[in-house]
Amino acid sequence: MENEEINNEGLEPDTAKNPDDNSQTSKDVIIQIISSLRAKMQENRRLLFVLKAALITILSIIIPILLLLYIVYLVPALEESTSGHKTEITNNPELKTDAAYKKQIALMSKNIKQLSRKFNTYSSGQSYIVINTTENKFSLYKNKKLIREGLCSSGANKILQTQKMNYLFKTPKGKFSIMGKRKHPYWHRSDWDFIEQGLPVPPKDHPSRWEEGVLGDYALDLVDGYMIHGTIYKRLMGMPVTHGCVRLGDEDLEIVFNTLNIGSKVYIF
Amino acid sequence: MEAETRKSPRYLFRALIIILIALIAFVVYYSIMEMRSSSKKMAEISDEYGFVKYEKLKLPENITTDSTFLSLFREQAYLQSRVAMAETDSVYLTINLTDSVINIEISGVVVHSTYIDEIEASKLLTNGDEFIITSLLSAPLTIVSDTSSIVKIPIVMKIAPKDTSEFIPDAIPDTAFYEPVNYIFETDRGINIIVYQSEEINQGDNKERFMFDLRHRLINTKAVMKDILAFKVPEYQLFIKIKIPSADAKIIYRAIPKHGQIGIYK
């Protein structure tokens, strides 16, 4: 124990000197390293040149990238963080007793009721059908309840180019009405059907224009010759292949025919 | 000769320092101008949609922060917007940010509905003056242009055959064809509706989305830069960024007309 104390006592003056000495020695070491590196670099100028070139290249790539990232991402983020201060929503009882306030609230409530009533008149209470041309699906509604849904086929989005004119085969989008309903419909072939097959176009009243069975058992007329009808190409159901009409499968078509009346709405999107 | 060689690195160093200072100064100037754009936008919106209309009714000004008034005002604004759109026979979009629902409607009938997986909007829209922002959204927004990763109408061209020997039946469409769906609707009131598909169906979908976003950011930066170089405060772009399933995103993009309308409930 005594020995240890003696030893410790003996060490104290040494440790007190140490910080200065250590820093001095470390400085010396660094200076030595730098001077040796300098000496080496002066010896090897080529290495120095390569290092400088590498540094400049790296910086000239990194600085523009950082700058771009700053401008493209960071500035808009900072802009967002500084914009807009949350509105303080109040519930002041004094304000609620104000006559002008009361009048305004009553007016707005009345407006909302009127607007709601008006808006509800738009949504059809009758049966209607919705056609989704992107997914080639239909949904049939009765009393605002979905009663049947399934696949259909809509316009192929095809342009048939002829020397005289172009034909666009696309299903129109928006709100339409059923204009007519037909059982066992005949199809009056349009000019494009002949042109598409490379056939000569016959006169309008030529018997070759009339074709039976290709439209299925029922047809519901929309507008400008567009129809909802059946098809003999059942394997193409669910695909965009038609000339603009909407094709349905036999069972679906029968239900749609029996559910929709003349004037019923058809919503196509 | 020696003196010249000694001097040249110094000149180079000075030039570098000057370039660096100029660059820093430009970055600072750019940042300040860009930061000012949001307050400029808010001031513009306030001028156009502020309390002015209600001042004539001699209403107390603190009415615009009252919870009952604001709730009714929001309801009325959304209904007004929906009624205006329902009066057309066209396809339009309604985005309910409160319920996270996006609808395709035709004449007041919801024909397609989907839940929004993620919503992000400009702080100005979410935190800005409730009354002014609701006034801004009280009429439908009209799409002025769009940018998309998919085509609006996938048109196929076919040249009519000269006779039956040239006739080739149409190929069956490839319904399994997949492409990532990301798009931006730019509207007339300076609000961009950014729609991204939420899921990663194929490897690389996220990369596609990142590239789409980067392209959009670069276009914006170019426009901002133009303004800034002309010493003008740039135009602040309000945005609503939503993520929805890919199939729904595609349906919406293809359904909405080129200059279709959008109603927003906040």
For range B111-127, the mean pLDDT: 94
**Nearest residue on chain A to B250, judged by CA atoms?**
A134
* Sign, CA torsion B51/B52/B53/B59: positive
Given this model, what pLDDT does residue B7 score? 55
Q: What's the rounded mean pLDDT across residues A192-217?
A: 92
Please check whether residue A100 touches B, CB under 8 A: yes
Q: Are residues A57 and A188 in the same domain?
A: no
Q: What is the pLDDT of residue B60?
A: 80
Q: Which residues of A touch B69 (CB under 8 A)?
A: 101, 104-105, 108
Residues A133 and A246 in one domain: yes
Contact A267 B111 (CB under 8 A): yes
| Overall average pLDDT of the A102-114 stretch | 93
Element (H, E) at A30: helix A2-43
Q: How close B110 comes to chain A (CA, Å)?
A: 8
Claim: this prediction has a pTM higher than 0.90: no
The answer, for A137 touching chain B at a CB cutoff of 8 Å, is: no
In this structure, the answer to whether residues A259 and A141 fall within a common structural domain is yes
For the domain that residue A236 is a member of, what is the CATH number? Answer: 2.40.440.10
A233-244 pLDDT per residue, tens: 889 999 999 999
Calculate how close chain A gets to B203, using CA atoms only, in Å.
23
What pLDDT shows up at residue B245? 96
Per-residue pLDDT tens for B202-257?
A: 989 999 999 999 999 999 999 999 999 999 999 999 999 999 999 999 999 999 99
Confidence of residue A60 (pLDDT cuts 50, 70, 90): confident
Percent of chain A with pLDDT over 90: 59
Report the Cα–Cα distance between both ends of chain B, in Å, rounded.
74
Q: What is the mean pLDDT of chain B?
A: 90
Residue A133 lies in a domain: yes
Mean pLDDT of A200-207: 92
- Measured between beta carbons, the chain A residues lying within 8 angstroms of B154 are 157
Angle between helices B2-49 and B205-229 (to 10 degrees): 90
Say if CB A48 and CB A41 are below 8 A apart.
yes
Nearest to A175 among B80, B106, B131 (CB): B106
Question: Could you tell me the pLDDT band of residue A4, with boundaries at 50, 70 and 90?
Answer: very low
In a domain, A79, yes or no: no
CB spacing of B34 vs A76 below 8 angstroms: yes
Structural domains in chain B, sorted by start: 19-155+178-265 (2.40.440.10)
Residue A9: predicted pLDDT: 44
Q: Is residue A69 part of a domain?
A: yes
* Predicted local confidence at residue B181, as pLDDT: 96
The continuous run of DSSP H or E covering A71 comes out as: none
Give this complex's ipTM: 0.88
From the list A96, A104, A196, the residue facing B59 with the nearest CB is A104
**A138 and A48: one domain?**
no
Q: Which residue has the higher pLDDT, A44 or A113?
A: A113
Residues of B in contact with A97 (CB under 8 A): none
Domain stops at, among A10, A43, A74: A74
- A18 vs A183: which has the higher pLDDT: A183
Q: Are A219 and A229 in contact (CB under 8 A)?
A: yes
Q: Do A226 and A141 reside in the same domain of the chain?
A: yes
pLDDT value for B6? 53
Residue A8 maps to a domain: no
Is residue A247, in this structure, part of any structural domain at all?
Answer: yes
Q: If 0-12 CB within 10 Å is exposed, 13-18 middle and 19+ buried, where does residue B175 land?
A: exposed
Task: Report CB contact under 8 Å: A267, B59.
Answer: no
Which chain A residue's Cα is nearest to B123?
A84
- B123–A105 C-beta distance less than 8 A: no
State how many domains chain A has. 2
**Confidence at residue A1, expressed as pLDDT on a 0 to 100 scale:** 41
Residues 184-213 of A with CB under 8 A from B: 195-199
Nearest-by-Cβ selection for B89 from A73, A174, A199: A174
Residues A50 and A134 in one domain: no
Residues 6+ apart with CB under 8 A from B192: B184, B185, B186, B237, B238, B239, B240
> Nearest CA of chain B to the CA of A91: how many Å?
6
> Is residue A134 located within the same domain as residue A67?
no
pLDDT of the residue at B39: 87
Residue where a domain terminates, one of A9, A41, A74: A74
pLDDT of B9: 65
CA–CA–CA angle A156, B89, A192 (5° rounding)? 30
CB within 8 Å: B127 and A86 = yes
Write the pLDDT tens digit of every residue in A140-195. Answer: 999 889 999 999 999 999 999 998 899 999 999 999 999 999 999 999 999 999 99
* A114 contact B CB<8A: no
**Per-residue pLDDT at A131:** 98
What was the pLDDT predicted at B50?
79
Residue A124's pLDDT band, with cuts at 50, 70 and 90, is low
Q: Which of A78, A85, A134 is facing B127, going by the closest CB pair?
A: A85
| Interchain proximity B76–A157, CB inside 8 Å | no
pLDDT score, position A12: 47
Chain A residues inside the 8 Å CB shell of B75: 112
More confident residue, A6 or A30: A30
Does A160 contact B at CB distance below 8 Å?
yes
Shared domain check, A137 and A216? yes
Report the pLDDT value the prediction gives residue B72, as an integer from 0 to 100: 95
- Residue A3, pLDDT score: 45
> Within a domain: residue A261?
yes
* A226 in a structural domain: yes
- DSSP letter assigned to residue A217: S
In a domain, A104, yes or no: no
What distance in Å separates the CA atoms of residue A185 and residue A205, rounded to the nearest whole number? Answer: 17
Residue B250 distance to chain A (closest CA, Å):
8
Number of Cβ pairs < 8 A linking chain A and chain B: 218
Report the pLDDT averaged over residues A36-40.
80
For A48, the domain range is 31-74
- pLDDT tens per residue across span A221-264: 999 999 999 999 889 999 999 999 999 999 999 999 999 999 99
Instruction: Check whether residue A50 and residue A144 sit in a common domain.
Output: no
Mean pLDDT lowest for which of A2-6, B133-137, B182-186? Answer: A2-6
For tokens 């963080």, what's the residue? A81
**pLDDT (0 to 100) of residue A10:** 43
Whether residue A143 sits in one domain with residue A252: yes
Best A59, A87, A128 residue to mutate vs chain B (most B CBs within 10 Å): A87
Shared-domain flag, residues A171 and A255: yes
Smallest Cβ distance to A157: which of B59, B73, B155? B155
Which positions in chain B touch A240 (Cβ < 8 Å)? Answer: 173
Q: CB neighbours of A229 closer than 8 A, spacing ≥ 6?
A: A185, A215, A216, A218, A219, A220, A245, A246, A247, A248, A253
Using the Cβ of A126 and the Cβ atoms of chain B, whether some distance falls under 8 Å is answered with no
Say if residue A256 is in the same domain as residue A172.
Answer: yes
CA distance A256 to A251: 9
